[in-house]
Amino acid sequence: MSAGGADLSALRVLVVGAGPAGTRAVETLLAHGVKPVVVDEAPRNGGQIYRQPPPGFRRPAKALYGFEAQKARRIHAVFAATEGTLDYRPETLVWNLSRNVAFTLDDNGLAELPYDALILATGAMDRTVPLPGWTTPGVFSLGGSQVALKYQGCAVGRRVAFLGTGPLLYLVAYQYARAGAGVAAVLDTASFGDGLRALPGLAASGTTLLKGLWYRERLRLAGIARKSRVTPLAIESDEGGERVTALRYRVGRGREKRLACDAVALGYGLKPETQLAELAGAELAFDGRTRQWLPAIDDDGRASAAGVYLAGDGAGIAGADAAELRGELAALALLADRAVTVSARRMVALRRRLARFARFRAALETAFPYPARLAPALPDETIVCRCEMIRAGEIRTAARELGATEMNRCKALTRLGMGRCQARLCGQVAAEILADATGLPLAAVGRLRGQGPIKPLPIRLAHLADEPAPGEAA
Amino acid sequence: MADGQLVRLTETERPAVTIHVDGAPLAALAGDTVLTALLTAGRRLRQAEFGDGARAGFCLMGACQDCWVFLETGGRLRACTTLVSEGLRLRTLDEPA
């Protein structure tokens, strides 16, 4: 079918990611007669926020997604309705992009997918800051702690300390308490004053603020201690280093405290997965407010590279509701750029609603600011790069004694970021430490360049890029 | 088991699946990830390559790659994104070169 006179039969559109943004993008393309190829790492659509448990789990949507159950069901329904008609490739990783070809890996091996236009809806992961002891078993990311509950029906410990900042901190702590898990305390690096300053902007959001207050009130009623202005100091473990025993911290300038716990859920907001955007040729720009490098996009999600569109938290954190709108808008922009008739009114309405989300996001960043003071204060012996075991002191030595003033130089000198996670966990934090050690602004020390493969390939397959490869667990 | 890191709170009525870890049988449930199966029964998934001790994964969403375990046959898998299957045989004690 062609829409608005444009011949779409030969147009190859690739959508990467099937969370709220990718799902709405797919739905929008289908509604205009374009059948995309959809690649997603998960077995079922929904992304992290609306992640569906494996077959055989029985909790209803309300138990899994709470207030967001209706939204989750709607997102899942979009893909259910396309069953058998859409070229949908779950459990498939796009590990590289080059010259309008996506390189994929699934259980059957490697494949190449040429495309004319690309929508990246790659999502986000937890933004964490290391602390001494954080590699001990029992320390998990905050989002991961939520995944354990949502996807597996498990708590990450018997007495879990929630450490970090942001709305997710309170949400997951509440979900744990409600599921009967032991919550040791909620320790927030933000201050009450941060929250007050953000209040006008948050109030404009209506229900989101109310939900946040409701989670906090529920935690209070459950008798769970909540501290703000927290500075985390260290995670203590038993002699063998195999189990968490306590979290040491300070409130404001107060004396050191010790919270007994057997697990820590750690997260200071989210960071976008920008690796594929970068490989697709999208320029990144430094965002001073969140102290992160984000893909440069226009209001509709167009990246600086032609034919590349970004949507959802992978294009800068704005949350799941905004992600649905951004997915639709990016798809409409793609279609409009291909001379397909789309509703200009709908695009205007989406932009207007997204502008409201942007104001709300700014207020959230004020209420729960990324604690930039933590990374520069880390003791030298703190492991920053978990994969290659690079400590904070080695970054400082590279800066002060070896003249590293830029992140890629720091990487070459220390091996930081060369490991299997491809700097997802250490890159931003190392930049904060390097900037502090050199006295340069954070933007000036740059960032680690993304490169393929963005996730490790099975060693056997990496040599076989042009040959059919036998299945191998990845 | 009593001494796992992870605690099952709900959804425990799933069929049993037996996997083998370092030669010993381990009872799991259908739909468990390998990480869930190992960490409801124990405290770690592996030793870090560079000698800083035990690791048990971190992100649980396929990003950090800290949860790799090895098949007896030598291949590796990411424990947080791989579901258990009957007959799965793993080793966690050392990593093949």
Q: Is the peptide bond before A53 cis (omega within 30 degrees of 0)?
A: no
**What DSSP assignment string belongs to A245-292?**
EEEEEEETT---EEEE-SEEEEEESEEE--HHHHHTT--EEEETTTTE
Q: pLDDT tens digits for B45-94? A: 988 766 678 999 999 999 999 999 999 998 899 999 999 999 999 998 76
Q: Which of residues 344-363 of A touch B (CB under 8 A)?
A: none
Residues β-bridged to residue A294: A285
Q: What token pair was written down for B94? A: 């050392």
Nearest CA in chain B to A391: B52
pLDDT of residue A462: 53
Of B11, B36, B71, the CB nearest to A58: B11
Strand B24-29 to strand B16-21: parallel, antiparallel, or no bridges (unpaired)? antiparallel
Has residue B96 got a pLDDT over 70? no
Whether chain B has a CB inside 8 Å of the CB on A143: the answer is yes
**Which positions in chain A touch B31 (Cβ < 8 Å)?**
53-57, 152
**How close does chain A come to B16, measured CA to CA in Å?**
12
Q: Which of residues 2-61 of B touch A (CB under 8 A)?
A: 5-15, 30-33, 36, 39-40, 43-45, 48, 50-61
Distance (Å, whole) CA A316 – CA A298: 12
Phi and psi, residue B74, nearest 5°: 115, -30
Nearest CA in chain B to A460: B75
Q: Locate tokens 């898998």: which residue?
A: B77
Residues β-bridged to residue B16: B29
pLDDT of residue A8: 81
Residue B7 placed within a domain: no
Q: pLDDT tens digits for B25-58? A: 999 999 999 999 999 999 999 887 666 789 999 9
pLDDT of residue A459: 62
Residue B97 placed within a domain: no
Instruction: Give which of A232, A310, A265, A274 is closest to A428, Cα–Cα.
Output: A274
Nearest CA in chain B to A424: B64
Cα A240 → chain centroid: 32
Whether chain B has a CB inside 8 Å of the CB on A271: the answer is no
Residue B9 placed within a domain: no
Instruction: Give which of A156, A244, A359 is closest to B58, Cα–Cα.
Output: A156
**How close does chain B come to A95, measured CA to CA in Å?**
12
Phi and psi, residue A237, nearest 5°: -135, 170
**What DSSP assignment string belongs to A322-361?**
HHHHHHHHHHHHHHHHTT----HHHHHHHHHHHHHHHHHH
- Counts of helices then strands in chain A (DSSP H, E): 14, 23
* ipTM score assigned to the predicted complex: 0.95
- CA-based end-to-end distance of chain B: 32
Nearest CA in chain A to B44: A137
Task: CATH number of the domain at B64, please.
Answer: 3.10.20.740
Distance (Å, whole) CA A51 – CA A31: 24
Q: Other CB atoms closer than 10 Å to residue A256's CB: what's the count?
A: 11
Side-chain-facing half-sphere of A67: CA atoms under 13 Å: 13
- Domain total for chain B? 1
Q: Report yes or no: A329 and A297 within 8 Å, Cβ to Cβ.
A: no
Distance (Å, whole) CA A468 – CA A71: 40
pLDDT of residue A467: 42
Q: Which of residues 13-72 of A touch B (CB under 8 A)?
A: 41, 48, 53-59
Q: Which amino acid is at B92?
A: T
Burial A356-376 (b: 16+ CB within 10 A, else e): ebeebbebbbbbbbbbeebbe
**pLDDT in 10s for each residue of chain A, 474 residues:** 445 556 788 899 999 999 999 999 999 999 999 999 999 999 999 999 999 999 999 999 999 999 999 999 999 999 999 988 999 999 999 999 999 999 999 999 999 999 999 999 999 999 999 999 999 999 999 999 999 999 999 999 999 999 999 999 999 999 999 999 999 999 999 998 888 888 888 887 778 788 888 899 999 999 999 999 999 999 999 988 899 999 999 999 999 999 999 999 999 999 999 999 999 999 999 999 999 999 999 999 999 999 999 999 999 999 999 999 999 999 999 999 999 999 999 999 999 999 999 999 999 999 999 999 999 999 999 999 999 999 999 999 999 999 999 999 999 999 999 999 999 999 999 999 999 999 999 999 999 988 899 999 876 555 444 444 444 443
Residue ranges and CATH numbers for the domains of chain A are 13-125+271-365 (3.50.50.60), 128-268 (3.50.50.60), 375-445 (1.10.10.1100)
**What DSSP assignment string belongs to A188-247?**
ESS-HHHHHHHHHHHHTTTHHHHHHHHHHHHHHHTT--EE-SEEEEEEEE-TTS-SEEEE
Q: Model's pTM, two decimal places? A: 0.95
Domain containing B43 equals 16-91
